[in-house]
A and B are shown apart, each in its own frame.
Chain A
Amino acid sequence: DIQMTQSPVSLSASLEEIVTVTCKASQDIDTYLSWYQQKPGKSPQLLIYDATNLAAGVPSRFSGSRSGTQYSLEISRPQVDDSGIYYCLQSYSTPWTFGGGTRLE
């Protein structure tokens, strides 16, 4: 199974900075990497797909990038509404696997 190592586990951010969450895959997964946001008591929502493409309706302050087997989610000037838990997901091969999650406050 492909392992997704996500970091950090948690972070707090001010409204003026750039927040970065990282996932490292245990092997090549090409661009089959997506990012999800989950708020308390809610279902996850897709933010980024194909490692870098913004999902429909997602604010442009969210962006994704890739460097080899390392993938990053960036949030520029995070808003209060961006609080929640963020997960990466590899869908390169089954079984699909999620990262452990990053709590953003």
Chain B
Amino acid sequence: QVQMKETGPGLVQRTQTLSVTCTVSGFSLASYGVHWVRQAPGKGLEWMGVIWGDGNTNYNSGLRSRLIISRDTSKSQVFLIMNSLQTDDTAVYHCAIGSFWYVMDAWGQGASVTVSS
């Protein structure tokens, strides 16, 4: 059974660096791409980026300069690291995978992150 759980700091200071971890079970990170999607309060979904099974990454154009997605396959963990945080980075951060590479049909519950000024 596929399971995914995000853990994050909850509260981060403006200009600091955010680190969120997605811990997965029920599948191998070498076989599936893991996506990050965020949702600011009252706003829509924003695709942030993906780390594919082969380890390659793709990023949202607007976040590419301050975002890194990495993983530790031995620990079944994927990491989202984003620097230079601003208050509009306040959001729920989700990780997700898909049975097919072009969809997302399994999502974590999300980690709520507030950026404080």
Contacts and interface: CB of A to CB of B under 8 A. Distances in A.
Interface of A: 1, 32, 34, 36, 38, 43-46, 49, 55, 85, 87, 89, 91, 94-101
A47 to B, nearest CB: 10
Contacts of A98: 44-47
Contacts of A43: 94, 96, 107-110
A65 to B, nearest CB: 17
Of the four ranges (under 10, 10 to 19, 20 to 34, 35 or more), the interface on chain B belongs to: 20 to 34
Nearest to A92: B102
Contacts of B22: none
Contacts of B87: none
Nearest to A31: B102
Nearest to B35: A96
Closest 10 CB pairs of A and B: A94-B58, A43-B107, A91-B102, A46-B105, A101-B44, A96-B47, A98-B45, A49-B103, A95-B60, A34-B103
Contacts of B100: 49
B32 interface: no
B37 to A, nearest CB: 8
